[in-house]
Each structure stands twice: as structure tokens, then as C-alpha cells.
Amino acid sequence: MKLEKSFGARTVLSDVSFALRPGDRLAVVGRNGEGKSTLLRILAGRLAADGGQLSVPRGHHVALHDQRPPTDALDRSLEDYVGEGMAAAQAAEARLAALEARMAEGDSGAEVLEQYTRAQSALERAGGYDWRVWMGRVTRGLGIPDDRLGDPLSVFSGGELTRASLARALVSRPDVLLLDEPTNHLDVTSTEWLEQAVIEMRCAVVLVSHDRWFLESVATGVLELDRGRSKLWPMGYSRFRQARAEALALQAKEAERSAAEIARLERFVTRWRAGTKARQAQSRAKALAKIERVSAPSSGRSVDFGFPPVTQPGRVVLEAEGVTVSVADRTLLDGVDLAIERGQRVALVGPNGTGKTTLLDTLTGARRPAKGRVGVGHRVEANYYSQHGNEMHEDRSVVDTLMAAATLTRTQARTLLGTFLFSGAEVEKIVADLSGGERRRLSLAIMVAQGGNFLILDEPT
């Protein structure tokens, strides 16, 4: 493999190699910005590597679930969208029906029979005649009610669309399944179902997740990305964490010992270079040039930011009276009464599909309530972080996107982006090339730059 990928002057992947067999479930881990999502997009064929060779056996199907919900053709039904994952089975089934009609009319020559045999084989490879049963099992397992399958994509929340994207990848029964943060927007029941489903599918799986319990349940191996390079740990996630901690502790000790020895030799050479022990100093200098320098473990980068000073709002920040929330003639919430006062931090909880995001859209004015009234208080400056970030122009750079959203100079924008782990040439990266995690960091940067004394956060982590 030896996959390589750079964005501008920054090398993200420089020497990434591994092999997959059916049944392998490989967890890709690494700090923010190490290229985890980039690697998945390369494996899916959606992003070209700059170097190395990716080999996928002919006829193998690769399916990717990333962190981006569908954004086009939102008038199609959720069932049609998920069913696109079974396009091969649908095409083979339609082909069989057409050939059966020909044979019923007496056209049963050798060529037709051969085509029929090929169509049957294609259907079996795509999952067989039970693909509708499998699709129903997947959608229900991920918490998508049967009575909502016919609704258009446009009426679903970002979390619901993300689950639909996951369902589409699963129903395709791929040979290689790529999952980028699959447990985002899943409740406990759906996550447990997904764990079992991924294990039972027996295909090769490559996954990125911050859900430690999911990784411990599913992963059979770990691929660690660190400063562009990869290291394969052929073990489960719990054993990996223990083995890695031991390896880092040993590396730290070796680095300390190496640094002490180098310092000792350097002091000797400096002191006796021109003195009575010049010959010994010369010998030590040669030893110093050959000594292996052990670097200390990398501490990595972390997001570190604060909000700017804000105007103090009135005592009552938001009031909702008798609010009814509906989607496509379906009532999600009825008679909501809510009052939020300055300084309060309110958590909105509930199972998937109960209307949490839709309620936030209603409270922020993005959606009108079917009934009732919503009002904001005196001097309230609301700032809404939605599940999938603010609307962004896909062809803009990161820095231009931030500058367009807030009154910042280019220097100020670059400085703020640096606190959100966008450094150097990364700020010129096009939004369309960002991973889901990078998009969320950019959305958070926009929110910080815009400020506000009333923050509404929908899945900010």
C-alpha cells in the first residue's frame, strides 16, 4: 500500500499500509487531523491518493458511511434513498422478471437461459431475494419507523438523515464496509443492534469512532495513525490501549535515557575538544554522531478556545407557550411550555425521532410552530449550532468561510482557526474536502467568532 496524501504543503498520510481479510474489523485511531476520514475516503475511491497503491479484488463492493447526510434530491423518499444501497439486487431482480416474461412467451433459447443464469447469480451476489427483508431489519434496527419510510428526505433532521446514510451502506451487504463515526445520532438500543449487525455481516470493516465501548465490542484490530505513518496492532481495542500505554511509557524512558547520554557526551566533547583529552573527545564526538536518538512520545494537539465577552441579556432569555411541533402532518411534540433564564444550562434529552432537533429548529425560528408562541428576551443574541454545522459554500476555503461568517481580518481568521487545529496550508483547504470532524471544528470556530449570549447546541461534540 504505502498510501500518501497531502493537502497543500501539509502531508496527512505518508506511509500507510495494511491488508484486510473477510471478517477483519479494523479500528482506525489517531488524534484530530491525523487523516482518519481522509483514509476512509481514499479506500472508498472518493479521494485519490498522491502515492502508493490501493488494491481491491475485482468485483468487490466497497460501501462508505461518512459523517455527511444527503444534501441533494431531497424530494425522494427515505425508502428510495436507503434502497439505492440495494441497486444491484433491484436491477438483477428486474432483469429476471423481464427474462421470465420472455420465457413465458416461448422465448427460451440458449441465449435467454444463459442471461437468466447470469441474472440469478448477480441477484445472489447482491443478497438474494430477501433483500427487502434485510432492508426492513436494518431500518428498524437503526430506529427508523416503518411509517416514515415514505416521507421525503427534506422533512428529516440531520441525525435522521445520517442514520439513513448508515442504513444505505449496511443494506448493500458490501465486501468492504467503511464506517466514519457510525454511532453518532444512535441511541443505546440502536448502537447495540449495530454492534451485533456489523459482527454478523462477516465482511471486512474499517471504522473510525470516538465511542470506546463500540470499538471494544467490534474491533478485531487497530490501525494507529501518528504523524502520517501507520502502525497495525493485531488485537482488540482494550488490549491495544493497554499495549500502547506500555509502549509509550517505555518510549518515554528510552527517550529520557537517550537524551541524558547525548547530553553527557556533548558536555565531554565541548570541555575537552582542545584540551588534554582531545583524542578522547574526538572519539566521543564520533560516538555522538552515531548514537540513535529516541524521540519522546508526541503529546498531540488539542482544541483550546474561549468565547468573547458578550452583552448581558435580560432575565428571561426564551419563552415557549403551548408550542406544537409537526413534520409532514405528524405531530412530534404538543403543548410545549418552556422558560429559560439567564445563566441556565438546559439539556434536551429523548430517544431518536422524538423531535429534539425539530424543537430546536422551532425555538430558534428556523421552523415555524404548528401552534403556540416562541419569544426571545431583551438583548438576547442567539447563536445556533446545528447537528451538521452552518450552511457552507462547498467551493470556499476554510479561512474564506470563516471570514464570510464573521467580521474578521484574514490574520484574525487564521489565528482563530489555529485554535481549532487548522494550521498552515490547512486553512486554504476547500470545504468540500473536509472530513466530518473538520466541518464540526469549522462550525465551532464560526460560532465562537460570531459570539452570542444564548447558545443553542445540537450535538456539538
SS (H, E, C) 407-447: CCCHHHHHHHHHHCCCCHHHHHCEHHHCCHHHHHHHHHHHH
Q: Are 7 and 433 in contact (CB under 8 A)?
A: yes
Reported as a single tens digit per residue, the pLDDT across 242-282 is 999 999 899 889 888 888 888 888 888 888 877 778 888 88
3-state secondary structure of 238: helix
**Residue 424: its pLDDT value, please?**
82
User: Nine-digit cell at 34?
Assistant: 491525523
User: Rounded to an integer, what distance in angstroms lies between the CA atom of residue 294 and that of residue 374?
Assistant: 61
| C-beta of residue 220 within 8 angstroms of C-beta of residue 192 | no
pLDDT, position 135 = 92
Map out the domains of the chain with their CATH numbers.
Answer: 3-238 (3.40.50.300), 316-457 (3.40.50.300)
Amino acid at 440: R
Q: pLDDT at position 177, please? A: 97
Residues 295-349 pLDDT 10s: 777 766 667 778 888 899 999 999 999 999 988 778 889 999 999 999 999 999 8
Question: CA-CA distance, 42 to 178, in Å (whole number)?
Answer: 11
Average pLDDT rounded to a whole number, residues 438-452: 90
Give the mean pLDDT of the chain: 89
Has residue 215 got a pLDDT over 90? yes
Q: What is the pLDDT of residue 314?
A: 92
Nearest-10 Cα torsion for 137, 142, 143, 145? -40
| pLDDT level of residue 199 (50, 70, 90 thresholds) | very high
- Surface-to-core class of residue 263, CB atoms within 10 Å of its CB (0-12 exposed, 13-18 middle, 19+ buried): exposed
Question: In the predicted model, what is the mean pLDDT of residues 219-225?
Answer: 96
Which is more confident, 290 or 25? 25
d(CA 271, CA 183) in angstroms, rounded, equals 61
396: left (phi > 0), else alpha (psi -120 to 50), else beta?
beta
| Cα distance between residue 23 and residue 201, in whole Å | 8
83-127 confidence digits (pLDDT tens): 998 888 888 888 888 888 888 888 878 888 888 888 888 888 777
One-letter amino acid at 100 equals E
The Cα–Cα gap between 386 and 185 comes to 13
Task: Choose among 156, 142, 149: nearest CA to 189.
Answer: 142
What is the predicted pLDDT for the residue at 30?
92
Tens of pLDDT along 342-399?
Answer: 999 999 988 877 888 889 999 999 889 999 999 999 999 999 988 655 668 889 999 9
- Tens of pLDDT, residue by residue over 128-184, are 778 888 999 999 999 999 989 999 998 887 788 889 999 999 999 999 999 999 998
